[in-house]
Every structure is written in structure tokens, then in C-alpha cells.
Amino acid sequence: MARALEPQRRLLAVYTGGTIGMRSEQGVLVPGSGLAAVLRSLPMFHDEEYARACGLPEDTLVLPPAIPDQRVIYTVLECQPLFDSSDMTITEWVQIAQTIERHYGQYDGFVVIHGTDTMAFAASVLSFVLENLQKTVILTGAQVPIHALWNDSRENLLGALLMAGQYVIPEVCLFFQNQLFRGNRVTKVDSRRFAAFCSPHLPPLAVMGTDVTINWELVRKARGKAQLVVHSSMERDVGLLRLYPGIPAALAMAGAGIVSGFDMTSEAALAKLSYVLGHPGLTPDDRKEEADAIREALVPSLACAAAHAGDLEVLQALGDLGSDLSLESFNGQTPLHAAARGGQPGAVTMLLRRGVDVDPRDEDGLSPLLLAVKGRHRGVIELLRAAGACLSLQELEDAGTELCRLAARADLEGLQSWWQAGADLSSPGYDGRSALLVAEAAGNLEVVTFLQNLKGGAGVQAPGPATL
């Protein structure tokens, strides 16, 4: 539940620039100063009568009462100079954090008015820079300036002020188009629509409509009364490289200590990297050891993905780094499983030449050979059989029903794959019938001919690895 609020809540609104306050000069939008004066002229942002009665200074405004007997008073602190958000960097975002630190004891919450181009980056950086937050910090901005007749500036700014002034949500958030997002979970998805931001892997912390709905189970809990800490020693020398189809392994992996970001946004990944590399408590050796440990933990999954895609360059790079290419991933599958499932003979050949086990079993007891059979990857089946792979007794016992199903569907390629892997095609199904009887009953003459030839010629038992 929300903490009971005082009759007056005081906020600091840090105006950094951006579209929200821009003005048109000769048809070009330029940063507009004097936002406090603009807001003072709009009744939804300022109750002039109440302000005069309280003797508030020029840079301090007060919202009309949204709740009886409760007021949100806010001071606008305008950056000098104002920034275009596309020009902002980690340095400017640390300065914003330091501004919050200087005024932390004076105000109950903070709203940062920011341009939308890099607002998701700013929110992510501030979420790492500001540690032990006990107060609400909300970033907001707009797609259309507040001076325009039809705009989203008023709705976004008023919503951010109300959220910060009425609720205690002790983390860095981003408010846009009636939704309050966790700052390091948000990304910009549109430069034209008012719904410019989304949170791909976490629902909004709050939604503002006729009522305000807050998902309190998602909101971070304040950690006691710990003092605010601002991590100003962020590493500036970091970059963002997006993966793309055909990216060379040497560009993103070899020797780089790659670490999975899991479901992080690219903005949060960059911010976290800057935070970790700039952390004074970690020596270069500490960082390297931690990166090495994480990389080894992730190698099986990386290798499986590369093997399934047949990316020999990545497999080679991992092997050259000394990674064990026979380690199991989270589901017990090895890169050989993945290569067999994906029908990648080149990857299978490379892995076998590196001496990996030809018959490993995953957590379901499946072998690479069986996965190749199910995928009808006959070139892979041949390679695995030549290396000594065999179907297990359990796999052979379970084959009868599958063989009958393939015969009923006239799936000759599937039957040939099972035969090539060493299965006995006369094995009965669950009803005691063989694949041949099922094919005859279904009138699948091509399948009948294939099975009869095997039965009357070399036999239905496939030749062993030595004859392949």
C-alpha cells in the first residue's frame, strides 16, 4: 500500500531540455528556456491563488488539489545550458544524479524533464548511479512541445508530477502516455506516436486512467534507511554493438569476454557495463575473473546456438579460447545434440574431430542420433553412425509405434532415416502391427515396396557403422 502522504509534498523538477519546452524559430524547433513561466500560466500546473497565500517564490509552483487537503508543490530547476538529448552522454546523466544528491534532503521526490531520444539510456544510467533510493525519481518528456495546440507534453508532465507527488515508489522510473515504467526496463520504440516507449519484459509499475492502478508487487522496496549513494565513477569508454545476421565471430566474441545480457534492454546493458567497469571496488583482475566465470557458465548455450545454426566460425572461436565443446546446456543437450537437431553436418564433423562424445544423452534421454532421425537429416545420421553412434535399447523399443505412424502417412523419408540409424523396421507398434502391415492396409504402395525389398533382400536391420 502507498505510504500516507503529508498535506504538502515538495518535488524538484529538473528541466534538462528536450521537445517538451521547445519553441519554433523560423520553422525550426530550438530549446526553449523559461519553462517555469510557461507552467505558471497554465492552471492545470499552477494554482496562483494558493501560491500567493503561501508566498511561494517564482520558480516554485503548486498543482491544484488532486486529492482533498493534499497539495503537490514543485520547484523547477532549469539546467544551464539546456541540452538536446541526442547530445547527452553518461557525463550529463551523472551530473543529473549529483543534482538530485545535492537536493535530496530538501524534496520528497524528483521529476527529470528529458528529451525522448536518449531518455531510456538516461533512465537506465540513473537506475545504476542512484543507490539506496528512498524517494521517487521519474523521467518524462514529450513528442510534441507544450506550446503546440495538440500535444502530449501536458499529460506526461502532469502525470509524472502527480505520480511522484502522491506515491512513494523508491526507484528510477519513466512516465509516458499514462504508464509508469521501471527505468532500466524501458526502450524507445516510436518517434512519431505518443506511445513512444514500452517495457518488453516487465509490465508497467503503474497505469493512470480514471483511476491509478499500481502493481505494488513489482515496485522495489526501500532498503531501510540507508543513505543515498551516487556512483559518479562510471566508465565512459563503453560502446554498444548490436548483433546482426552474418556478424563475424571475431567482432563480438573472440577474446572479448562476452557476457549474455539475457532479457536486458540494450540501454540497460550499456548502463550496467559502464557501472561495473567504473566501480572502484573492482580491480581489473577482479573484473576479468568475474567475466571469465560468467563466460564459462554461458559457453554451453552459446556453443549450442552456434552448432544449431551451423556457425563454424563461432564454434572455432570458442574452441580456440579453450572452451569445452562437450559441456551440457540448461536442458542437458550438448552442441552435438544441437548440430544434429539442426541438420548441420559441418558442425557435426568439427565437433567429432574435437573428440566430443558421440552418444551423449540429454535430460530426456535423447541422443544426437535420434534427434537427427527425427529431423530426417540423413547426412548427419551417416556421420554419427560412422563415428560409432547407436540408438539405445529404449529408443529402439519405442520406435515401433513411430514407424507405424510414418508408414500410415506414407513418410518414406522418415522410415529411411530410422533404417539408416539402425532401427528394426519390423518392430511392432502399440497394437502389435508392423509398419509393413500398416502400409499395406493404407494402400501406401511405395512404402510397401521399400519395406518388402528390405525384408526380402538385405533384411530390415540396417547395416552397422562399419559398412556405412
> What is the CATH classification number for the domain harbouring 92?
3.40.50.1170
Q: Could you tell me if 112 and 16 are in contact, meaning their C-beta atoms sit under 8 angstroms apart?
A: yes
Q: Is residue 154 part of a domain?
A: yes
**Number of CB atoms found within 10 A of residue 116's CB:** 24
Q: Please report the pLDDT score of residue 251 as a whole number.
A: 60
Range of the domain at 401: 393-468
Task: Give the CA diameter of the chain.
Answer: 106
Q: Is residue 252 part of a domain?
A: no
The verdict on 425 and 379 lying in the same domain is no
Instruction: Specify the CATH number for the domain of residue 403.
Output: 1.25.40
Q: Are strands 212-214 and 179-182 parallel, antiparallel or unpaired?
A: unpaired
Domain boundary pick from 390, 420, 451: 390
Q: Is residue 127 part of a domain?
A: yes
Q: Is residue 165 part of a domain?
A: yes
Q: Please report the pLDDT score of residue 397 as a whole number.
A: 83
Residues of the chain scoring pLDDT < 50: 1-4, 254-255, 458-468
Instruction: Specify the CATH number for the domain of residue 309.
Output: 1.25.40.20
The verdict on 63 and 195 lying in the same domain is yes
The verdict on 118 and 132 lying in the same domain is yes
Smallest CA-to-CA distance from 58 within 80, 34, 42 is with 34
The verdict on 14 and 149 lying in the same domain is yes
The verdict on 25 and 89 lying in the same domain is yes
Q: How far apart are CA 207 and CA 238, in angstroms?
A: 34
Q: Is residue 57 part of a domain?
A: yes
pLDDT digits (tens, 9 = 90+) for 65-122: 987 778 999 999 999 999 888 889 999 999 999 999 999 999 999 999 999 999 999 9
Q: Could you tell me if 110 and 138 are in contact, meaning their C-beta atoms sit under 8 angstroms apart?
A: yes
Q: Is residue 332 part of a domain?
A: yes
Q: Please report the pLDDT score of residue 170 as a whole number.
A: 95
Query: Dihedrals φ, ψ of 192, to 5°?
Result: -115, -40
User: Going by C-beta distance under 8 Å and a sequence separation of 6 or more, which residues neighbour residue 137?
Assistant: 100, 109, 110, 111, 112, 126, 130, 164, 171, 172, 173, 183
Q: Please report the pLDDT score of residue 253 as a whole number.
A: 53
Structurally, how many domains does the chain consist of?
3
The verdict on 330 and 410 lying in the same domain is no
pTM value?
Answer: 0.62
The verdict on 166 and 153 lying in the same domain is yes
The verdict on 209 and 352 lying in the same domain is no
The verdict on 398 and 378 lying in the same domain is no
**Number of CB atoms found within 10 A of residue 76's CB:** 23
Domain boundary pick from 390, 412, 427: 390
Q: Please report the pLDDT score of residue 254 as a whole number.
A: 47
Q: Is residue 285 part of a domain?
A: no
Active site residues: 19
Domain boundary pick from 230, 257, 280: 230
Q: How far is CA 370 from CA 19, 290, 326, 376, in A?
A: 59, 37, 18, 10
Q: Is residue 386 part of a domain?
A: yes
The verdict on 379 and 449 lying in the same domain is no
The verdict on 463 and 386 lying in the same domain is no
The verdict on 24 and 139 lying in the same domain is yes
